[in-house]
């Protein structure tokens, strides 16, 4: 497997786990072009997050729904700053824990906790489907949200099931700082300087398209996608691509929606492309 991506330039848009993804790609010999979609910041007002933490400690939640790993890490960061981390972990150990895909589960394991249930598909709809099968009437349910998303469908569905929903939004996005890098990445793809773009969450697809519209680069983005192999980590990302009339060229095997299987699939696809080009 060593150096299977030698001579390839891979564009990555990952922010939360960018360093790890870049390292894994570099280990395979790729030249990584990094373009974070946004800067992640703590919630501008920590008071509501701290209040949520204290409520969870004072009266442990019946259920906890984690939408992102970043969310739990930010909650724990504030809890540590307030000297509440051990009490919070002890309280969350008493809750039934649900995660949207594998990343929040990984964050739970970092604090020696485990999810009882994980969605098959890491989407809001998957969370709604998972929880719809349960009796939540009268349950105090903690719900960790993430920015730039309308969560009313999820909160409404949970309330309709009789749950007392207690939401927390522990971080924010600053997208403007990344716009120049995004436009440069679009230019690189349009000029054929990128072999593959690796997409690891559906928000990246939306962000690329939105930034292209704002900066008049829509035609360049479409041209770039035509010239560049599009790698998707899983069905949620592929579905978002399809919604915008875009294809998926590379994806990992079923139920292997992680970075390493994605990189392995990319190595195979790029090697095949290189062999076809050499045979012409």
Rounded Cα distance between 9 and 273, Å, is: 14
Domain boundary among 173, 199, 215: 173
Q: Are residues 201 and 244 in the same domain?
A: yes
The CATH number covering residue 212 comes to: 3.40.50.10090
Residue 264 lies in a domain: yes
* pLDDT at residue 17 in the model: 62
Q: Are residues 158 and 247 in the same domain?
A: no
Give the CA radius of gyration of the chain. Answer: 20
Residue 217 lies in a domain: yes
Domain residues for 237? 9-38+175-279
Q: Are residues 31 and 152 in the same domain?
A: no
Q: Are residues 206 and 260 in the same domain?
A: yes
Q: Are residues 108 and 229 in the same domain?
A: no
- Sequence-distant (6+) residues with CB within 8 A of 278 are none
Q: Are residues 58 and 31 in the same domain?
A: no
Tens of pLDDT along 126-185? 999 999 999 999 999 999 999 978 899 999 999 999 999 999 999 998 777 678 889 999
Q: Are residues 66 and 105 in the same domain?
A: yes
Tens of pLDDT along 28-74? 889 999 998 777 889 999 999 999 999 999 999 999 999 999 999 99
Residue 60 lies in a domain: yes
Length of the chain: 280
User: Domain total for the chain?
Assistant: 2
Residue 113 lies in a domain: yes
Rounded Cα distance between 171 and 74, Å, is: 7
């Amino acid at each position: 497997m060593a150096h299977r991506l030698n001579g390839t330039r891979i564009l990555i848009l990952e922010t939360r786990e960018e360093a790890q993804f870049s390292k894994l790609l570099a280990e395979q010999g790729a030249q990584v072009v990094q373009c974070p979609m946004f800067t992640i910041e703590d919630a501008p007002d920590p008071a509501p997050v701290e209040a949520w933490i204290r409520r969870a400690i004072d009266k442990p939640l019946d259920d906890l729904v984690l939408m992102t790993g970043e969310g739990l890490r930010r909650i724990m960061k504030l809890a540590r700053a307030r000297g509440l981390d051990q009490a919070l972990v002890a309280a969350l150990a008493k809750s039934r824990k649900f995660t949207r895909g594998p990343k929040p589960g990984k964050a739970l394991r970092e604090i020696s906790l485990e999810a009882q249930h994980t969605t098959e598909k890491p989407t809001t709809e998957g969370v709604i489907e998972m929880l719809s099968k349960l009796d939540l009437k009268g349950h105090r349910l903690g719900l960790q949200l993430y920015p730039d998303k309308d969560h009313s469908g999820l909160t409404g569905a949970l309330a309709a099931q009789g749950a007392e929903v207690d939401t927390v939004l522990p971080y924010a996005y600053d997208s403007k700082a990344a716009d120049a890098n995004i436009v440069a990445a679009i230019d690189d793809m349009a000029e054929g300087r990128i072999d593959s773009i690796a997409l690891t969450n559906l928000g990246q697809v939306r962000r690329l398209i939105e930034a292209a519209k704002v900066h008049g680069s829509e035609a360049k983005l479409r041209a770039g996608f035509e010239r560049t192999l599009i790698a998707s980590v899983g069905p949620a990302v592929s579905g978002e691509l399809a919604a915008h009339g875009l294809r998926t060229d590379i994806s990992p095997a079923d139920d292997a929606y992680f970075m390493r299987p994605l990189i392995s699939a990319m190595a195979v696809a790029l090697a095949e492309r290189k062999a076809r080009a050499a045979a012409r």
